[in-house]
Amino acid sequence: MAPSGLPALLDLALASTPKTRAATDGPEYPRPDPTNATENPTWGAPRIHGELRLLGITVSERTVSRYMPRRPPQPDAAQRWRTFLRNHRDAIAAMDFFVVPTVTLRLVYVWFVIGHDRRRLLHFDVTANPAAAWVIQQLREAFPFGTAPRHVIFDRDSIFSAPVVSTMRSFGIQPARTAWKSPWQNAVAERWIGSVRRGAAVAAHAGWGVLGPTG
Protein backbone atom coordinates (compact mmCIF):
# COMPACT_ATOMS: atom_id res chain seq x y z
CA MET A 1 0.00 0.00 0.00
CA ALA A 2 1.37 3.40 -0.99
CA PRO A 3 1.98 5.96 1.78
CA SER A 4 -0.95 7.97 0.43
CA GLY A 5 -3.34 5.12 1.22
CA LEU A 6 -3.79 6.01 4.90
CA PRO A 7 -4.75 9.69 4.36
CA ALA A 8 -7.15 8.65 1.59
CA LEU A 9 -8.84 6.10 3.84
CA LEU A 10 -9.15 8.57 6.70
CA ASP A 11 -10.43 11.32 4.43
CA LEU A 12 -13.23 8.93 3.56
CA ALA A 13 -13.83 8.24 7.26
CA LEU A 14 -13.95 11.98 7.98
CA ALA A 15 -16.54 12.51 5.28
CA SER A 16 -18.77 9.60 6.30
CA THR A 17 -18.50 9.60 10.12
CA PRO A 18 -20.18 12.19 12.33
CA LYS A 19 -17.85 13.73 14.84
CA THR A 20 -18.76 13.12 18.47
CA ARG A 21 -16.09 15.42 19.86
CA ALA A 22 -14.93 18.70 18.49
CA ALA A 23 -11.28 19.07 17.64
CA THR A 24 -9.40 21.20 20.14
CA ASP A 25 -6.79 22.64 17.83
CA GLY A 26 -5.63 26.07 18.79
CA PRO A 27 -3.01 28.50 17.58
CA GLU A 28 -0.78 27.80 20.59
CA TYR A 29 -1.08 23.99 20.67
CA PRO A 30 -1.62 22.63 17.16
CA ARG A 31 -2.28 18.90 17.04
CA PRO A 32 -0.18 16.74 14.68
CA ASP A 33 -1.98 15.42 11.65
CA PRO A 34 -2.86 11.79 12.56
CA THR A 35 -3.39 10.90 8.92
CA ASN A 36 0.26 11.53 8.07
CA ALA A 37 2.20 8.54 9.42
CA THR A 38 5.30 9.65 7.52
CA GLU A 39 5.55 12.90 9.50
CA ASN A 40 4.91 10.99 12.75
CA PRO A 41 7.39 8.10 12.39
CA THR A 42 7.12 6.98 16.03
CA TRP A 43 3.35 6.60 15.82
CA GLY A 44 2.03 3.10 15.37
CA ALA A 45 -1.50 2.02 14.57
CA PRO A 46 -2.67 2.10 18.24
CA ARG A 47 -1.53 5.73 18.66
CA ILE A 48 -3.08 6.88 15.39
CA HIS A 49 -6.28 4.99 16.20
CA GLY A 50 -6.47 6.76 19.56
CA GLU A 51 -5.89 10.18 18.00
CA LEU A 52 -8.63 9.54 15.45
CA ARG A 53 -11.06 8.62 18.21
CA LEU A 54 -10.29 11.94 19.90
CA LEU A 55 -11.24 13.62 16.64
CA GLY A 56 -14.53 11.72 16.60
CA ILE A 57 -13.58 9.41 13.74
CA THR A 58 -14.82 5.84 14.01
CA VAL A 59 -12.42 3.43 12.36
CA SER A 60 -10.98 0.18 13.70
CA GLU A 61 -7.34 -0.14 14.74
CA ARG A 62 -6.99 -3.11 12.41
CA THR A 63 -8.11 -0.97 9.47
CA VAL A 64 -5.59 1.73 10.39
CA SER A 65 -2.76 -0.82 10.60
CA ARG A 66 -3.70 -2.24 7.20
CA TYR A 67 -3.23 1.17 5.57
CA MET A 68 -0.10 2.16 7.46
CA PRO A 69 2.87 2.77 5.13
CA ARG A 70 5.63 0.24 5.43
CA ARG A 71 8.71 1.72 7.02
CA PRO A 72 12.15 0.62 5.83
CA PRO A 73 14.03 -1.59 8.30
CA GLN A 74 16.57 0.13 10.48
CA PRO A 75 19.98 -0.75 9.03
CA ASP A 76 21.70 -0.78 12.41
CA ALA A 77 19.09 -2.90 14.24
CA ALA A 78 20.90 -6.20 13.59
CA GLN A 79 24.23 -4.70 14.62
CA ARG A 80 22.75 -3.41 17.90
CA TRP A 81 21.36 -6.85 18.70
CA ARG A 82 24.70 -8.56 17.93
CA THR A 83 26.48 -6.02 20.12
CA PHE A 84 24.07 -6.80 22.97
CA LEU A 85 24.72 -10.54 22.60
CA ARG A 86 28.50 -10.07 22.46
CA ASN A 87 28.71 -7.69 25.42
CA HIS A 88 26.47 -9.73 27.73
CA ARG A 89 27.24 -13.27 26.58
CA ASP A 90 28.22 -14.45 30.07
CA ALA A 91 24.93 -13.22 31.53
CA ILE A 92 22.49 -14.43 28.84
CA ALA A 93 20.36 -17.56 28.63
CA ALA A 94 17.78 -18.46 26.00
CA MET A 95 14.60 -20.50 26.27
CA ASP A 96 12.33 -22.01 23.67
CA PHE A 97 9.90 -24.82 22.82
CA PHE A 98 9.98 -27.39 20.07
CA VAL A 99 7.77 -30.35 19.19
CA VAL A 100 8.90 -33.98 19.07
CA PRO A 101 6.78 -36.84 17.64
CA THR A 102 6.96 -40.11 19.55
CA VAL A 103 6.85 -43.69 18.26
CA THR A 104 3.21 -43.85 19.35
CA LEU A 105 2.37 -40.92 17.02
CA ARG A 106 1.91 -38.52 19.91
CA LEU A 107 3.40 -35.05 20.11
CA VAL A 108 5.34 -33.88 23.12
CA TYR A 109 6.54 -30.34 23.70
CA VAL A 110 10.11 -29.86 24.84
CA TRP A 111 10.97 -26.72 26.81
CA PHE A 112 14.58 -25.88 27.50
CA VAL A 113 16.87 -23.10 28.62
CA ILE A 114 20.47 -22.86 27.43
CA GLY A 115 23.34 -20.62 28.50
CA HIS A 116 25.05 -18.45 25.90
CA ASP A 117 28.51 -18.50 27.45
CA ARG A 118 29.31 -22.22 27.09
CA ARG A 119 26.25 -23.29 25.09
CA ARG A 120 25.43 -25.46 28.10
CA LEU A 121 21.92 -26.86 28.57
CA LEU A 122 20.72 -25.53 31.92
CA HIS A 123 17.35 -27.25 32.19
CA PHE A 124 14.76 -29.02 30.07
CA ASP A 125 11.50 -30.91 30.47
CA VAL A 126 8.72 -32.31 28.29
CA THR A 127 4.95 -32.08 28.49
CA ALA A 128 1.95 -33.01 26.39
CA ASN A 129 0.03 -29.92 27.57
CA PRO A 130 2.20 -26.82 27.72
CA ALA A 131 0.85 -23.90 29.70
CA ALA A 132 2.18 -20.68 31.23
CA ALA A 133 1.94 -22.11 34.77
CA TRP A 134 4.03 -25.10 33.69
CA VAL A 135 6.70 -22.80 32.20
CA ILE A 136 6.81 -20.80 35.44
CA GLN A 137 7.45 -23.99 37.40
CA GLN A 138 10.27 -24.92 35.00
CA LEU A 139 11.85 -21.51 35.52
CA ARG A 140 11.78 -22.06 39.27
CA GLU A 141 13.53 -25.40 38.83
CA ALA A 142 16.04 -24.02 36.33
CA PHE A 143 17.14 -21.05 38.46
CA PRO A 144 17.02 -21.94 42.17
CA PHE A 145 18.65 -19.93 44.95
CA GLY A 146 19.49 -16.79 42.99
CA THR A 147 21.22 -18.52 40.08
CA ALA A 148 19.19 -16.77 37.38
CA PRO A 149 21.09 -15.02 34.56
CA ARG A 150 20.73 -11.31 34.00
CA HIS A 151 18.98 -11.71 30.63
CA VAL A 152 16.76 -14.41 29.11
CA ILE A 153 15.96 -14.35 25.40
CA PHE A 154 12.70 -15.85 24.14
CA ASP A 155 10.41 -15.52 21.14
CA ARG A 156 6.85 -14.28 20.77
CA ASP A 157 5.14 -17.58 21.50
CA SER A 158 1.87 -16.78 23.28
CA ILE A 159 2.77 -19.18 26.10
CA PHE A 160 5.46 -16.72 27.21
CA SER A 161 2.69 -14.51 28.53
CA ALA A 162 2.60 -11.71 31.11
CA PRO A 163 2.72 -14.08 34.14
CA VAL A 164 5.84 -15.75 32.72
CA VAL A 165 7.52 -12.40 32.13
CA SER A 166 6.50 -11.20 35.61
CA THR A 167 8.02 -14.33 37.16
CA MET A 168 11.30 -13.76 35.33
CA ARG A 169 11.45 -10.19 36.58
CA SER A 170 10.83 -11.40 40.15
CA PHE A 171 13.99 -13.52 39.74
CA GLY A 172 15.97 -10.42 38.75
CA ILE A 173 15.95 -11.42 35.06
CA GLN A 174 15.62 -8.80 32.34
CA PRO A 175 13.38 -10.42 29.68
CA ALA A 176 14.50 -9.94 26.06
CA ARG A 177 11.78 -10.86 23.59
CA THR A 178 12.85 -11.29 19.97
CA ALA A 179 11.34 -9.32 17.13
CA TRP A 180 8.47 -10.72 15.09
CA LYS A 181 9.56 -13.57 12.80
CA SER A 182 13.23 -13.15 13.73
CA PRO A 183 14.53 -16.57 14.83
CA TRP A 184 18.09 -15.40 14.12
CA GLN A 185 17.87 -13.28 17.28
CA ASN A 186 17.64 -16.50 19.31
CA ALA A 187 20.25 -18.33 17.27
CA VAL A 188 21.82 -20.29 20.14
CA ALA A 189 18.48 -21.91 21.00
CA GLU A 190 17.61 -22.47 17.35
CA ARG A 191 20.94 -24.20 16.68
CA TRP A 192 20.43 -26.50 19.66
CA ILE A 193 16.96 -27.43 18.37
CA GLY A 194 18.51 -28.22 14.99
CA SER A 195 21.10 -30.46 16.64
CA VAL A 196 18.42 -32.37 18.54
CA ARG A 197 16.33 -32.88 15.43
CA ARG A 198 19.30 -34.11 13.42
CA GLY A 199 20.20 -36.52 16.22
CA ALA A 200 16.60 -37.75 16.36
CA ALA A 201 16.63 -38.34 12.60
CA VAL A 202 19.82 -40.40 12.88
CA ALA A 203 18.34 -42.42 15.76
CA ALA A 204 15.14 -43.07 13.83
CA HIS A 205 17.14 -44.23 10.81
CA ALA A 206 19.04 -46.65 13.08
CA GLY A 207 15.80 -48.12 14.40
CA TRP A 208 15.44 -46.07 17.58
CA GLY A 209 12.40 -43.97 18.38
CA VAL A 210 12.19 -41.01 20.69
CA LEU A 211 11.14 -43.26 23.58
CA GLY A 212 13.37 -46.26 22.83
CA PRO A 213 14.08 -48.93 20.22
CA THR A 214 11.41 -49.55 17.66
CA GLY A 215 12.42 -53.08 16.79
pLDDT of residue 41: 60
Domain boundaries, the chain: 5-66, 78-213
- Give the whole-angstrom CA distance, residue 21 versus residue 33: 16
Closest Cα to residue 149, out of 86, 82, 188, 93? 93
Q: What is the pLDDT of residue 162?
A: 93
CATH number for the domain whose boundaries are 78-213: 3.30.420.10
Q: Let me know: does 156 contact 97? Beta carbons within 8 Å.
A: no
Predicted local distance difference test score (pLDDT) of residue 89:
84
- Taking the model in full, what pTM does it have? 0.60
Task: Determine the residue type at 19.
Answer: K
Does residue 87 contact residue 165 with C-beta atoms inside 8 Å? no
Tell me what pLDDT residue 54 has: 81
Give the single-character DSSP code of 115: E
Count of C-beta atoms within a 10 Å radius of residue 189: 24
Block mean pLDDT (10 aa), the chain, length 215: 53 51 45 54 72 80 74 66 83 94 88 94 95 96 93 94 95 92 91 89 64 45
